[in-house]
Amino acid sequence: MRFPFALSVKIASHIIKHKLRRTPKFAMVLQLEPLHTCNLTCTGCGRIREYSTSLKDVMSLEDCLAAANECDAPMVSICGGEPLIYPKIEELVEGLLRQDRIVYICTNGVFMRKKMKEYLAAIYSPKMETVLDRLLAEKLISEKDAETIRQGKRDPRPVIQPTQWLYWNVHIDGLEYTHDLIVEREGVFKECVEAIKMAKRLGFQVATNTTVYKETNVAEIEQMFAFFSSRGVDGHTISPGYDYDAAKKDMIRRLGRQPEDFFLTRDMTKQKFANILDWGRRFPIFGTPVYQEFLAGQRELTCTAWAIPTRNIAGWKAPCYLMTDGHYKGYQEMLEKVDWEKYGVVDGVARDPRCENCMVHCGYDPSGALGTNYQRGDHWKNFAYNFGPKPKTATEGRAVNAFNGFSIGKGHLAEAKAAIKSADNGNGAPHVNTYCGSGDTSQRDELLAKIAARNGA
């Protein structure tokens, strides 16, 4: 199956339960941001900017667990910032699993191996030497790591363990050259690949999480799916980037250009996702075929951002993961006080100009599952997709030249950064960061344009 049976049943039961009760609005996935601190400074990351005054703040474990309890979403995506920096990440994962939720840890991958070594230390016994031998042979751990693991774990804290209810959801936006450029650190793609390999060796489930931007080369995304499929990755989430209002304001001020010059518009999104239904057949892409049809421009959907609420240090963020018109103390309070009719695009008309180009996963994927804009056969289509067989491993992925950057000496960041610095008009504008999944591509456009110019492309 595309998704483990028990998980599909859990999600389907949740929807059926609320449909029978006629609950008008309910949560499907909680985007939980226990902190906004990150170890990376990706091009186009806005969490760091939007919450720049509270980067050091973290939600308490109790608040995190209470938020999940209150909205009662069957799935919780722990994001951030980088969630593996959250001091109580293990307790949080354990607590959410104890609440019978499906947990995604949305990570940039850099600290994954560290967490898995702690897991190995916690379960170490001499019988595990063959596992350590294999990890050593594949250079996924060092001799020093193996020694530390053999000493066992000394503190009583829990560890992150493999279970069918848990996914590592690793942020990957392309093959090595592109991904390292986007995260502004060479070697991150390679680390992600090694962490994913180690996770699969240890029995974890792993998904990748990709945002498509204006300049994304879709042929590369297809290669990326094939590459990770051949590495045993269990699923992929993919979403277009977002036309972000705060980023627009910054771009107008900083670059003196019009936002329309930069963003992925709806028409461009449909072009980028023209083949998504084919990708869904070939690769284990998560979500619904109804949302995929929407992305491919074959139908309209109405935004259901309330179904993927975001809770962070400031409260329940409304109306959605991307846009902030307010924070509320409770999920129910947010549902009641927000005028949801003000948002989204209906029949091609944007109710809010900021929604005009949005087709993002967190606004529209639940719409596909919940049957808004229902067309005959949709429920069966979604059922067949999620309960049907998982696509076969894409063996062609073994031939993909994924390590096409830093690993072959094609480092690019120093040059790109120098180019950007020289392009800065000296106005002292701060580094702009939007967030995981945002569509502020202005900086990356500059980087790519500068590199192309230097290469004479």
**For strand 75-78 and strand 102-107, is the pairing parallel, antiparallel, or unpaired?**
parallel
> Burial level of 70, CB count in 10 A (0-12/13-18/19+)?
middle
Distance of alpha carbon 103 from alpha carbon 34, whole angstroms: 14
Is 222 a residue that touches ligand SF4 (CB under 6 A)? Answer: no
Cβ closest to ligand SF4, residue 100 vs residue 341: 341
CB under 6 A: which stretch of 13-21, 324-332, 351-359, 443-451 binds ligand SF4? 351-359
369 binds ligand SF4 (CB under 6 A): no
52 binds ligand SF4 (CB under 6 A): no
440 forms part of the interface with ligand SF4 (CB under 6 A)? no
| Residues in binding contact with ligand SF4, number by CB under 6 A | 28
Closer to ligand SF4 by Cβ: residue 43 or 229: 43
Closest CB 289 distance from ligand SF4, rounded Å: 20
Beta carbon of residue 248, minimum distance to ligand SF4 (angstroms, whole number) = 13
Nearer to ligand SF4, 76 or 97 (CB): 76
Please report how close the Cβ of residue 312 comes to ligand SF4 at its closest, in angstroms.
Answer: 12
Q: Which stretch binds ligand SF4 (CB under 6 A): 270-278, 281-289, 314-322, 377-385?
A: 314-322
Judge whether 321 and 31 are in contact, CB under 8 Å. Answer: yes
CA distances for 270 relative to 88, 212, 286, 292, 296, angstroms: 40, 11, 18, 10, 5
Amino acid symbol at 60: S
Single-letter code of the amino acid located at 74: P
Judged by CB under 6 A, which stretch of 58-66, 131-139, 319-327, 375-383 contacts ligand SF4? Answer: 319-327
Is 103 one of the binding residues for ligand SF4 (CB under 6 A)?
no
Residue 315, SS3? strand
Residue of the chain from 235, 319, 366, 405 that contacts ligand SF4 (CB under 6 A): 319
Q: Which x/- pattern over 32-51 shows residues binding ligand SF4 (rule: CB under 6 A)? A: ------x-xxx--x-x----
The Cα 165–Cα 82 span in angstroms is 20
**Distance (Å) of CA 46 to CA 52, 205, 260, 372, 433:** 9, 28, 19, 30, 4
Is residue 318 near ligand SF4 by the rule CB under 6 A?
Answer: no
435 binds ligand SF4 (CB under 6 A): yes
Burial of 162 (0-12, 13-18, 19+ CB in 10 A): middle
- Residue 322 interacting with ligand SF4 (CB under 6 A): yes
Residues of span 69-88 touching ligand SF4 by CB under 6 A: 80-82
User: Does position 357 bind ligand SF4 by CB under 6 A?
Assistant: no
Using CA atoms, how far apart are residues 232 and 390, in angstroms rounded to an integer?
12
Q: What distance in Å separates the CA atoms of residue 343 and residue 25, rounded to the nearest whole number?
A: 15
Two structure tokens written together for 313 = 């240090």
Regarding 108 and contact with ligand SF4 (CB under 6 A), the answer is yes
Tell me the helices (H) and strands (E) count for the chain, helix number first: 19, 11
Write down the least CB distance from residue 358 to ligand SF4, Å: 3
Dihedral class, residue 134 (left if φ above 0, else alpha if ψ from -120 to 50, else beta): alpha
Q: Which is nearer to ligand SF4, 133 or 339 (CB)?
A: 339
For residue 212, state whether it binds ligand SF4 (rule: CB under 6 A).
no
Q: Which residues contact 261 (CB under 8 A, 6 or more apart)?
A: none
Count CB-CB contacts under 10 A for residue 261.
Answer: 11
Residue number, 28 or 362, with CB nearest to ligand SF4: 362
Contacting residue, 285, 290, 360, 369, with ligand SF4 by CB under 6 A: 360
Residues that bind ligand SF4 (CB under 6 A): 38, 40-42, 45, 47, 80-82, 108, 171, 183, 303, 305, 319-320, 322-323, 343-344, 354-355, 358, 360, 362-363, 435-436
